[in-house]
Chain A
Amino acid sequence: MNPENYVPTEYLPLFIMLVLATLFAIGGLLLGAFIRPRFYYPEKLEPYECGNEPSGLPWQKIAIRYIPIAILFVVFDVEIAFLYLLGVSFSSISPLALGGAIFFIFLIILGFFYDLKKGYLEWTRF
């Protein structure tokens, strides 16, 4: 087989499904655009605030509390990538390589338990 003319054809259906889904969603929106009414007045376009006059814009500085979750998610996502690769090749690698992989997992779990112990994962810690 020559890499020059290799085409990943297994993924063509995936792409077709993507196109189909997009067509369906946009088609529905367009169909609706022909039949739905349009009676706009300024009050209708106000952002919803339970009936009160909106007070200021929403884009203000919000609690930093969401950042640690995203950081931890990045760390775990990278780890999961390696876990999955370990999963598919588990029985075909040597014991030394397996030891390295298990050390990798344990080090991350260790760091995670450190965070747990220090209470960095408490939501109500301020």
Chain B
Amino acid sequence: MVLNSNDMVHLALLSFFKGLIVLGIMLFHAAYTVYAERKIIGRIQSRLGPREVGPYGLLQPLADLVKLLTKEDILPKEADRFLFKLAPLLLLVTTIVNLSVIPFYPDFIIADVHVGILVILAFAGLGVYGVILGGYASGSKYSLLGGLRSAAQMLSYEIPLTVSLAGVILAAESFRLGDIVEAQANSLFGMNLFPQVIGFLVFLICAFAETNRAPFDLPEAESELVAGYMTEYSGFRMGLFFLGEYISMYVMALLISLCYLGGWSLPPWMLSLLPILKEIPPVLILLVKVYFFIFLFIWVRATFPRYRFDQLMRLSWKVLIPLSFLNLLIVMFFKLLT
């Protein structure tokens, strides 16, 4: 676009406020997901979860924030000071930027770019540096091993994830997430889930591994690696890593809902069965799908035992990658038929 400087300032201000809104909502969500996680896991394990701070423990995230801010900030003796400080920033910033290409509503998107999915993949690739550098710079053996393992895990699960996304791109013939949702709404089943069940399952499993969540929280396996690449971090720096993890959970949940479940649209057959569903505002539909996946993340953490590292690698290279290619070939075959 060719714009004069006046329009440019207008655009900059508009996207600044949009960004502030999204960032605010996302931080609120991340904080309360921690609370929800503790509460739900508590219930599953027949405990009550947090209940001391405020009614039903609802002010717990605030108390956590105050605690993180007032904790001592320790820079270990052997640490590389610059890299040690850079690593959490890198991880958090690259995760937050992903939110700017995700449409939350047909018209609400911060940066409406042609190559949305590529932007997300590029910044996810840069996020790996945060993990490796955090492990490297700490100057602790647990950190280094945790960082290496985590990097190996993220690399091996990024391949099936991206290949299964290729199926989605093939179905919509576009990189823009808005176009992908629209293509699904116009398709036969109303969502990508049905022709691409394999791709959906592969993507779901990889989402758990990419966000370092249980059952793939190998880098943070307390019994072997203490806290992995986070071992030497304390106070707000650790909080940044933590926040990054929860925001990337939301990014993954949003991506699955948009790419496989039709985002803010409902399938046409469901609408023809129950016409009243048309009245639901689109953003609510998306929210329900996203909350379901967040609940799934928590549920799985409470239920599944952790994988061993060689099992983790075997799952990715021997099962998920061939399956994701199979999914791609099936989608290609269907596409050729029509």
- A/B touching: CB–CB < 8 A: yes
Residues of chain A at the chain B interface (Cβ within 8 Å):
1-2, 5-7, 9-14, 16-18, 20-22, 24-26, 28-29, 31-33, 35-40, 42, 44-50, 54, 57-59, 62, 66, 69-70, 72-73, 76-77, 80, 83-84, 86-91, 102, 105, 109, 112-113, 116, 121-124
Q: Which residues of A contact B19 (CB under 8 A)?
A: 13, 16-17, 20
| Chain B interface helix/strand/loop/mixed | helix
Assembled-state Cα–Cα distance A6/B1 (Å):
6
Interface size on B, residues (CB 8 A): 84
For residue B47, CB closer than 8 A to chain A, the reply is no
- A25 x B235 contact (CB < 8 A): no
- A116 x B166 contact (CB < 8 A): no
Interface string of B95-139 (1 = CB under 8 A from A): 011011100000000111110011100000000000000000011
- B111 x A10 contact (CB < 8 A): yes
For residue B56, CB closer than 8 A to chain A, the reply is no
Closest to A6 in B: B2
For residue B201, CB closer than 8 A to chain A, the reply is no
A-B pair number, CB within 8 angstroms = 211
Assembled-state Cα–Cα distance A81/B325 (Å):
14
Assembled-state Cα–Cα distance A87/B140 (Å):
44
Q: Which residues of A contact B231 (CB under 8 A)?
A: 48
Given contacts A9-B3, A33-B73, contact A80 B159 (CB under 8 A): yes
Q: Which residues of A contact B70 (CB under 8 A)?
A: 32, 35-37
Given contacts A58-B140, A123-B310, contact A20 B321 (CB under 8 A): no
Given contacts A11-B113, A47-B140, contact A62 B8 (CB under 8 A): no
- A66 x B173 contact (CB < 8 A): no
List, sorted by A's number, 26 A–B pairs whose CB atoms are closer than 8 Å. A7-B2, A7-B8, A14-B101, A14-B113, A14-B119, A17-B19, A17-B97, A21-B23, A25-B240, A32-B73, A33-B73, A35-B70, A40-B74, A42-B77, A46-B77, A58-B139, A58-B143, A69-B155, A73-B158, A73-B159, A76-B163, A84-B118, A87-B173, A88-B173, A105-B328, A124-B310
Q: Which residues of B contact A69 (CB under 8 A)?
A: 152, 155-156, 313
Assembled-state Cα–Cα distance A86/B101 (Å):
22
